[in-house]
Structures are given as structure tokens and as C-alpha cells.
Amino acid sequence: MYSAQLHGPDRMQDAFPISTTGRWLKAPEGFIGPASVARVAEEARRGRRDFIRSAFAAALAGGTAAAAHAQSNPVPAAGGDPNILDLPEHSRGLGKPVAADGYGKPSQYEGNVQRRQSPGLTQTAQSSVSFAPLQSLFGIVTPNGLHFERHHQGWWDIDPSKHRLMLNGSDARLLKTPMVFTMDELMRLPSVSRFHFIECGANTGMEWGNVAVPTVQYTHGMLSCCEFTGVQLRTLLELAGADFKRGRFVLAEGADGSSMTRTIPMELVERGEVLVAYGCNGEMLRPENGYPLRLVVPGVQGVSWVKYLRRLEVGDRPYGTKDETLHYVDLMPDGKHRQYTSIQECKSVVTTPSGGQVLLDRGFYNITGLAWSGRGKIKRVDVSVDGGRNWRSARLQAPVMDKCLTRFNLDWVWDGKPAIVQSRAIDDTGYVQPTYRQLRAVRGSRSIYHNNAIQSWLVTESGEVRNVQLS
Amino acid sequence: MYSAQLHGPDRMQDAFPISTTGRWLKAPEGFIGPASVARVAEEARRGRRDFIRSAFAAALAGGTAAAAHAQSNPVPAAGGDPNILDLPEHSRGLGKPVAADGYGKPSQYEGNVQRRQSPGLTQTAQSSVSFAPLQSLFGIVTPNGLHFERHHQGWWDIDPSKHRLMLNGSDARLLKTPMVFTMDELMRLPSVSRFHFIECGANTGMEWGNVAVPTVQYTHGMLSCCEFTGVQLRTLLELAGADFKRGRFVLAEGADGSSMTRTIPMELVERGEVLVAYGCNGEMLRPENGYPLRLVVPGVQGVSWVKYLRRLEVGDRPYGTKDETLHYVDLMPDGKHRQYTSIQECKSVVTTPSGGQVLLDRGFYNITGLAWSGRGKIKRVDVSVDGGRNWRSARLQAPVMDKCLTRFNLDWVWDGKPAIVQSRAIDDTGYVQPTYRQLRAVRGSRSIYHNNAIQSWLVTESGEVRNVQLS
């Protein structure tokens, strides 16, 4: 989170970089081992004791104001009474001026909060993934600078004044008036803004066989949540005179070199849920997430949220494109593939404590995490600290929104003994997030996509947190 | 919004830079005058006609796929059939790799979407304001990089590992156990996340006398809205054994050189609304907005949301500090000042169309804007396009949250005649946003703070939008 030593990428020796960031802890340098944990814990204890002693000494000696100043930077005055402390620089001088650059950046102390690529996962960095640092995020909004990325042929910063969106039918009867929109024209149309999660269908895909990656950034970080703004696709199709009775499918096509094409069921469009979106968290989409235009298909896996959207075609049958027949299919135990399993089922994960973090002391902690469902709203999240024997219901943070992340929190007093922390989400259809045993009984263990099993984090006696799977 | 010509600051000749950014329009270079408006409109008309002709010619000649490619960049192939178009570069080659820098940035085409300082408003840039570009924002979330700034002595990037928060009482009976928290300790405590607006009490302050600034960025841009995460102040005071019966006020003190101190009524704390916050829109607070810790006081003017928070003291009477007795007071017509008028009353503003934007054509537009109330939720927003003679109710974007921005939208067909666009918000207490006439009847016109009057935008026959006040 904010350890000054940890600017820039910090990497494990093995195939995956580790994010050592934790909410409440001082992250050690390099890989987390028993020795470094003990050292960091001792430093933290000594630091706190020293600080409290000097702060309260100052409070007694110099009164409240001096004590308050001392909080910020308890450095004894040079050569003076050690109980009278110097003011830190930021309480003395002029700070930096307003609007230095017009668009602000995070603190220098947050340099280790990054989206990170997973080396070795794909052969090129143009067809790869960067994962959002879930262990360092709060609430439900993912800042645009940390939104996960998945590219099929790299990303582009397309000139929006030259970008166009075309609507047509696979035959002339399915759409009366083919239309071409400029961005200016789209942005004049009735606008809606909605909070939704977006999750790659392959999120948690590395965990099908067994424990593969150490941190929640890599197990669940192909997940983000934003306020999207755009035009309802239904509005555009009505303008163009689409035949909603015969045209039961829409093909969405992207303008980048991968020519991503996906079939969208007209049913989702008719509900008004599918957006042709230009805004994300208050500003224009970022280039790596489809600037200037992407499809938003709430509840459906990210690959259908076509980026750099240039064309929408109304058809009367599924299109069977490469990215829905060869890729993004589910290999079943009998060797067959399931296609068109696009809805992201109900899922949750504890983000703190999570793999790579360290609990420095026994005592009170706020267990926190995220829950979501592609079928609707989250109804309840249960949390276990004993590997699923006992469960308590977590507090859900309002507002609980449709097809949107829901933040949950639960009080926990850690007694210093090993613990296995899990969360289990239930959505408003009554669906309960499965265990690995339940998921594998149906799906086997050779899939890539659509792993929504319960995640387990082992807290060891030393306070280290590790990714484990219960048999 | 996205005109390539307009990267970086673009400034008027007078005291205030103008933001020429508009949602659907090509922003002209420099100041908006009748000549440049006509030129831009003609370019836009010609460009669209040419594009549609070439795109559909290609569709007829080369089939759907070629036409779709043509949308993105309708450049005729060199020396070839003008109906067969080259693919744009981004549809041919490899794009940029994933996670190039770990923390993403906006598109190069969005360089004119900036927070901007108002030259001449204050004598130094360390004690100044930058305004959020409301005319370019969507939905309700303000991206952290565009959150408005107000500094009293410049901003700092404080090392969070050295930052402390102290709790004490003005006498020992008001708080049993004075406490000092590290950031690590605060972040272990029960956490809540909530969406709230923050508005400077001086927002719209330049408009008391008459029209002072040209754009909504400068009339209303000391306004932002974020998802804040932190600990309820009530929780901390309970931990420290505060006396909630006798201790009816809390003094909040910042660590920067201005030593900002403000009195917070205990009533707000008891409701659980006041947060000691470290998170903002999913990540840590930005340095210019109080990193690593600020107070969140929903519904109350921004100055009370003390940044760089280092101390909270429970007391039994208001503290009468400099920034609540000499500043942030309301000069009334009889020459007296009102103090402790901290709640931001119900208010709204149309952000598109707004001053500095240009409507290039008659026809359909989506009127959009923001409404908010420091007393609760927005119940209704009415919009007039004839200076307040007739009103229609706008669509409110769900979820409508407590003490939070609410986005409203309304369909409008502009007939090309002059129009005066206004919005009027009503909150769930029944309070109706006043006209300037109503506001001045009570408050006069010599105030700085707490101007919540109805804003009027004049759309002229040429499509230019100007800030006006109705007498």
C-alpha cells in the first residue's frame, strides 16, 4: 500500500510477480519469508512503541498543540529537549501550487499500486493481460488508471474525430436504414450512466487445476467496476428501424487489428441494458479500454464488451465467430466444449487478508472483499475463517446494484492460530457460489473460463497469507 | 471534448481561461466568435456529408466488411478507386503492449479536459483553486485526476508511514483515553465506503453580483463526487471513550502549514456520517486532496473536510476558529455576518449545453446536468428552455444517493431560436432551489459563499452558449 521502499514493480523469483501490498501492514522487500516477516513485525512494534512514547511525552511537556504537531513527524529538535519536537516540513512551509499539471497523479508513496502483467501467460505483450491490484483497492470503483487490460492485438489511441459506428442488418429486412454515426452524433443522443462490473471470462482461469498464483491480483484481478455512460443500443436500433422480432442477435465488431467479433443476444438489448459507451468513471474511456467507443454488456464476460466498436449488425442467428467457437468455450469432462456460456455467474473473493499480505499482530482486523453476479444483485455474502465449517454473514455496503460489484466487510479478531479465510456469495436468484469440489463435479478441471469457485486464503501462525485450495 | 487542435490549455484574452470543450461539437481554436462558429459549422457539415457519401459508396462497391473498415478512417487508397478505402493503421498492425507503465493515462485526444486555475482569483498559486471541467464529465463520479482543488498553503505528499492521527478532549472528562493512530492501525478498523459530493462553500461565489465567468467549469467547478472509504469517526470516539452528551463538538485540525481548523457538530458524527477517510474512488486519496487522511463531512462545505488530518479534539462549544469566524461567513444586507452556515443547500446546474459550448445544428440534443443537496436526496429536477416560463421534469439517473450528485437528462429538440436553459432542483425535504431574485431578497448581493441560485445559459441563434443572469 504505502511503503516507501516498494516503488515500482517488485517481483518474485518464479513466474509471477508478487504484489506485496497489504492494507495495514508494512510490506517487506522482496519475497515474503519467515525471516523478513519477523524483521518487519519487530520494526513495526518498535516504531510504534517509540512513537507513542515520544508523542505522549511531548503532550505532557508541551501541551496539546505541540503534541499534535509531533504526530506528523516525531523528530527530536536538534540538540534540544527530546520531548520538544520539530515541526515537520509540511507544517512549516508553502506547499506545491494548485493545478500544476491539469490532470493529477497518485502519491509517490503509492507507486507499488499498479496493474501488473503476468510474465509467461501469453507469448507477446500485445496479446496479453494486466491485472488490477484488488488487494489495494477500496469500495467498488476501479480507478481508470488501474482498470484491468486484455488485448488481442495491442491497444490504440484512435482519433475520435475520425472514428465511426455503422449499423446494418445481415439482410435488408432486418434493419431498414443502415446508419453511420460520428462520435459527435452519438453524444447528442439520450444518455444513461450505470455502475457495472466487467470480468474477463478467463478470470481465475489459472486456478482450475490447483493453486497457480500467489495473490488476489493474479487470481481475480481481471475484474473492474466502473460507472459507464453511453447510449442504449436499443435506442440506436430503433432509430435505424431494426426488426426486433426476426433479428434475435447482434454482431459487435471492433476496429483494432484483432477484428474482435461477438454475438450479443437481442434479449439483452431489448431490456435496455446494453450500452454503446463512451464514458467511464466520469471521463472518456481510456485508450487501453476501447477509446472512443466500446460495448457494455452487463453481466456478460468482458470479451463481449467489444472495444474500439465500429460496427453492429442485426442477424437472425448466432454468428459462430472465432472468439466464440474456438476461444471462450468451456471444455467439459467428457471432452466436449460448451459454447455461448457468456454470463458471469455469482462469485466473490476476500481481498484482505489475501495472498502475499502479512498480519503483523493478533487482534482486530476488518475482513473485506468483493462479490458480484452476472444474473442480478448480491443478496448475501457469508465469510468463514475456519475453511468452511462455520459461516457468518458480512455487512454489504450500500447501494447494492444490479450486475455490479458489492463490497463486503466483517469484523474479525485473529487469535494468532492458523486460519482459512473464505467468502461465499449468494445472488438474488438464490444461486450459491460453489466450492471447488462442487464446481469440478460438473465441469472437471481442464477448463480455462468461468471459474467462480470459493477462494481460500491460509493465514499461517507467522501471519503470512497464502493461496490454498481445500480438497 | 476531443478536438485534436485543442491539446493543452486554451485561454481567453481576459481574466479567465475558457474551456471550449463541448460534448458533441468540434471546439474552435481560440475564443468563440460568430466567424469561427460559422467556419466550424460549415466544416462539420461538409465533413459529415463527404464521409457519409464515401462510406456508403464503399458499402455498395465493396460489401459490408469494406464499408465497416471505411468507417474508421475514410482515406481513399492512394491512386486507386476512391470508393475502395485503405484500412486505418489501427486495423492493420500490432498496437501498444499491455501495462506499459502500470498506471494508465487519458487519451492524447483528451488533453483539453483539465482542471484549471482561475488566474487573478487569488494572489498566489499556493492559496488558490482549480476547477473541475464539469462540461466534459459524465455520470456522477469525478476522476481523481480531475477532482477540484482548494489549497490554503499549497499541497504536500506526506509520507504515510510517518503520519499520525491524535484524538483528545478539550478537557480530560470529554475523552477518557487520548489515542494516537498510525495509518496501519486506522486501516485495520471497520471500514465503510460511500458516495458523496464535495463542494467548496465559495462555489459559484463569483456570480453573486452579476455574470462573472463564462463557463460551467468556473461557475460551478468547485464540485466533485467520489466514493470515499474510511472509518466512521463515531467508531474512533467510542474507542477513545468520548463523552457524547457533554462533548457536542469536534475540532478537526490539518497538518499542512495553514493549520486548517474547523468545528464539526457532534450530531453529524453520532449519525455515523462523518468519516476519517483514506480511500477515494477505489484508491488512496490524492496528495492534493489530503493524502493520506482527510475528514469526510457529507452535506457540509468542503473546508470542513479537513485535509492532511492530524488531530480531532472533543469539546463542549464551537471553537470559533479563524476559518469559521473571519472566513466562510455570509455577509447579509444589513452588514452583519452569518456564521456556521455550513450545510450546502439544494442546487443544480445544466452542464450541457453550457457557456462556451456551441450547438452546430438544430435538432435533437440531450440536455444533461447535476443536482445535489446537503440535506438529503434529490427528489426532482425541472428543466426550462424558455428562461423559467415552462418546466419539464428531467430523468434522474439511478441510484439517487444521500448527499451525492444526481445526474439528470432530458430530451430537447432545438428549433434554432434563442433559448434560455435552466435547471431547478428539489430535495426530499421539499426545499426548492431559488432564483437569483429570491436568493438576493434574503441574502443581498455582497456575499462570497453559499450561492445556490438557478443558473441560466443563453443559446443564441448562432448556437453559441453564454452565461446570463435574468433580472
Q: Could you write out the three-class secondary structure of B133-187?
A: CHHHCCCCCCCHHHCCEECCCCECCCCCCCCEEEEEECCCCCECCCEEEEHHHHC
- Tell me how many degrees the CA angle A124-A129-A135 measures, rounded to the nearest 5: 145
Task: Give A52 to chain B, closest Cα distance, Å.
Answer: 7
Phi, psi values for residue B422, rounded to 5°: -140, 155
Residue A57 pLDDT > 60: no
Note the pTM of the prediction, 2 decimals.
0.87
CA distances B211 to B123, B192, B216, B329, B442, Å, are 22, 41, 12, 22, 19
Q: Residue range A248-258: average pLDDT?
A: 95
Q: Residue range B208-229: average pLDDT?
A: 95
Partner-chain contact B97 A126, CB within 8 Å? yes
**Which positions in chain A touch B1 (Cβ < 8 Å)?**
160, 187, 284
Q: Residue range A402-410: average pLDDT?
A: 98
Q: If you measure CA to CA, which chain B residue comes closest to A395? A: B192
Q: In which band, very low, low, confident or very high, does the pLDDT at A33 lie, cut at 50, 70 and 90?
A: very low
Show the cell assigned to A227.
460507472
Residue B135 and residue B354 in contact, taking contact as beta carbons nearer than 8 Å: yes
Q: Could you write out the three-class secondary structure of chain A?
A: CCCHHHCCCCCCCCCCCCCCCCCCCCCCCCCCCHHHHHHHHHHHHHHHHHHHHHHHHHHHHHHHHHHHHHHHCCCECCCCCCCCECCCHHHCCCCECCCCCCCCCCCHHHCCCCCEECCCCCCCCCCCEEECCHHHCCCCCCCHHHCCEECCCCECCCCCCCCEEEEEECCHHHECCCEEEEHHHHCCCCCEEEEEEEECCCCCHHHCCCCCCCCHHHHHCCEEEEEEEEEEHHHHHHHCCECCCCCCEEEEEECCCCCCEEEEEHHHHHCCCCEEEEEECCEECCHHHCCCCEEECCCECHHHCCCCEEEEEEECCCCCCHHHHCCCCEECCCCCEECCCCECCCEEEEEECCCCCECCCCEEEEEEEEEECCCCCEEEEEEECECCCCCEECEECCCCCCCCCEEEEEEEEECCCCEEEEEEEEECCCCECCCHHHHHHHHCCCCCCCCCCCCEEEECCCCEEEEECCC
Residue B375 and residue B345 in contact, taking contact as beta carbons nearer than 8 Å: yes
- Those residues whose C-beta lies under 8 Å from the C-beta of residue B398, and which sit 6 or more positions away, are none
Amino acid at B278: Y
Partner-chain contact A190 B165, CB within 8 Å? no
Phi, psi values for residue A465, rounded to 5°: -115, 130
Phi, psi values for residue A109, rounded to 5°: -80, 0
Partner-chain contact A166 B125, CB within 8 Å? no
Partner-chain contact B141 A365, CB within 8 Å? no
- Those residues whose C-beta lies under 8 Å from the C-beta of residue A358, and which sit 6 or more positions away, are A22, A25, A27, A28, A32, A37, A40, A41, A462, A463, A464, A465
Q: Residue range B335-352: average pLDDT?
A: 96
Q: In which band, very low, low, confident or very high, does the pLDDT at B171 lie, cut at 50, 70 and 90?
A: very high
Higher pLDDT, A32 or A222: A222
Residue A30 pLDDT > 70: no
Residue A357 and residue A408 in contact, taking contact as beta carbons nearer than 8 Å: no
Pick from A241, A306, A307, A236: which is nearest to A272 by CA?
A236
Partner-chain contact A107 B157, CB within 8 Å? yes
Task: Give B437 to chain A, closest Cα distance, Å.
Answer: 32
Query: For residue A279, what are the β-bridge partners?
Result: A229, A284
Q: If you measure CA to CA, which chain A residue comes closest to B398? A: A194
Q: For chain A, how long is the longest CA-to-CA vector?
A: 89
Residues, chain B: 471
Residue A350 and residue A367 in contact, taking contact as beta carbons nearer than 8 Å: yes
Residue B203 pLDDT > 50: yes
Q: Residue range A51-67: average pLDDT?
A: 44
**Which positions in chain B touch A125 (Cβ < 8 Å)?**
97-99
Give the integer Cα–Cα distance in Å for A313 and B59.
Answer: 14
- Those residues whose C-beta lies under 8 Å from the C-beta of residue B334, and which sit 6 or more positions away, are none
Task: Supply the pLDDT for residue A87.
Answer: 81
Give the integer Cα–Cα distance in Å for A345 and A373.
Answer: 5
Q: Residue range A218-226: average pLDDT?
A: 97
Residue B372 and residue B42 in contact, taking contact as beta carbons nearer than 8 Å: no
Partner-chain contact A155 B95, CB within 8 Å? yes
Query: Across chain A, what does the average pLDDT equal?
Result: 85
Closest residue to A90, CB basis, from B115, B139, B156: B156
Q: Of the ranges A201-215, A276-290, B55-69, which one carries the lowest mean pLDDT score?
A: B55-69
**Cβ atoms within 10 A of the Cβ of A214, count?**
23
Higher pLDDT, B172 or A18: B172
Task: Supply the pLDDT for residue B72.
Answer: 43
Q: If you measure CA to CA, which chain B residue comes closest to A147? A: B104
Cis peptide before B265 (omega within 30 of 0): no
Query: For residue B315, what are the β-bridge partners?
Result: B249
Residues, chain A: 471
Show the cell assigned to A439.
464446481
Task: Supply the pLDDT for residue B360.
Answer: 83
pLDDT (tens digit, 9 = 90+) per residue, B273-316?
999 999 999 999 999 999 999 999 999 999 999 999 999 999 99
Phi, psi values for residue A322, rounded to 5°: -50, -45
Q: In which band, very low, low, confident or very high, does the pLDDT at A331 lie, cut at 50, 70 and 90?
A: very high
Q: Indicate the Cα dihedral angle A129, A134, A135, A137, nearest 10°.
A: 130
Q: If you measure CA to CA, which chain B residue comes closest to A131? A: B99
Euclidean distance between the first and the last CA atom of chain B, given in angstroms as a whole number = 32
Residue A50 and residue B180 in contact, taking contact as beta carbons nearer than 8 Å: no
R_g over Cα of chain B:
25
Task: Supply the pLDDT for residue B92.
Answer: 85
Task: Supply the pLDDT for residue B104.
Answer: 94
**Three-class DSSP category at B425:** strand
Task: Supply the pLDDT for residue B14.
Answer: 26
Query: For residue A165, what are the β-bridge partners?
Result: A181
Task: Give B325 to chain A, closest Cα distance, Å.
Answer: 20
Partner-chain contact B151 A279, CB within 8 Å? no
Higher pLDDT, B226 or A23: B226
**Three-class DSSP category at B249:** strand
Show the cell assigned to B366.
440531450
Give the integer Cα–Cα distance in Å for B16 and B124.
Answer: 16
Give the integer Cα–Cα distance in Å for B438 and B453.
Answer: 8
Which helix or strand (DSSP H or E) is residue B126 part of?
none
The percentage of chain A sitting over the pLDDT mark of 70, rounded to a whole number, equals 81
The ipTM is: 0.86
Q: Residue range B222-251: average pLDDT?
A: 97
Give the integer Cα–Cα distance in Å for A243 and A313.
Answer: 12
Q: Residue range B257-280: average pLDDT?
A: 96
Give the integer Cα–Cα distance in Å for A204 and A220.
Answer: 5
**Three-class DSSP category at B453:** coil
**Three-class DSSP category at B315:** strand
pLDDT (tens digit, 9 = 90+) per residue, B349-407?
999 999 999 998 899 999 999 999 999 999 999 999 999 999 999 999 999 999 999 99
Q: Is B317 exposed, middle or buried (0-12, 13-18, 19+ CB in 10 A)?
A: exposed
Task: Give A468 to chain B, closest Cα distance, Å.
Answer: 23
Residue A450 and residue A341 in contact, taking contact as beta carbons nearer than 8 Å: yes
Residue A132 and residue A263 in contact, taking contact as beta carbons nearer than 8 Å: no
Partner-chain contact B286 A67, CB within 8 Å? no
**Three-class DSSP category at B376:** coil
- Those residues whose C-beta lies under 8 Å from the C-beta of residue B272, and which sit 6 or more positions away, are B232, B234
